[in-house]
Amino acid sequence: MAINIIVNGDPYEIQIKPHWTLVYVIREKLNLIGTKEHCDEGACGMCTVIVDGKPILSCMTLAATMDGKSITTIEGLAENGKLHPLQEAWVEEHGAQCGYCTPGMIMSAKALLDKNPEPNTMEIKEAMGGNICRCGNYEFIINSVHTAAKMMKGGK
């Protein structure tokens, strides 16, 4: 079967098998390896991408359900070689330690800031609740989201 999707602004027609997950298609068929695959059961958030403006767990999403959808992965955030403010904030605030969870964290944060450009700490914690950082780096991650929000408003 074939699906037509838009990934990071580019259209694709991809032949898939009915049991393939979105994370499999992103990583193995489109060679976009920024989206991580870890738990395969929706528990860690490392596979988070944005579909039509909403964060989803791509390991729990069948690719067949994505026909006609617009998908943004971590690779789609930078423009013209310039990091997105979220990526800049993660660097500035040391939001990544090992970095494995970072793409999923940033995508969840992007979905939050697109909906709520000035979240408080509790709103950030709620939006990021499905993302696990094994390094225990949560204070830096929350600071990264606050800094990105300021940067996106033209501050800092």
Q: Where in the chain is the domain with CATH 3.10.20.30?
A: 2-76
Output the pLDDT for position 97.
85
pLDDT of amino acid 98: 87
Domain limits, CATH 1.10.150.120, in the chain: 85-152
> Helical H runs in the chain?
22-24, 85-92, 102-115, 121-127, 138-152
CATH of 85-152 given 3.30.750.24, 1.10.10.1400, 1.10.150.120, 3.40.50.300: 1.10.150.120
pLDDT at residue 155, as a whole number: 63
Residues of the chain with pLDDT under 70: 155-156
Distances (CA, A) of 142 to 81, 108, 120, 127: 25, 12, 10, 11
- The pTM for the full model equals 0.95
CATH superfamily of 2-76: Beta-grasp domain (3.10.20.30)
Neighbours of 56 (CB within 10 A): 21
72-115 pLDDT, tens per residue? 999 999 999 999 999 999 999 999 988 899 999 999 999 999 99
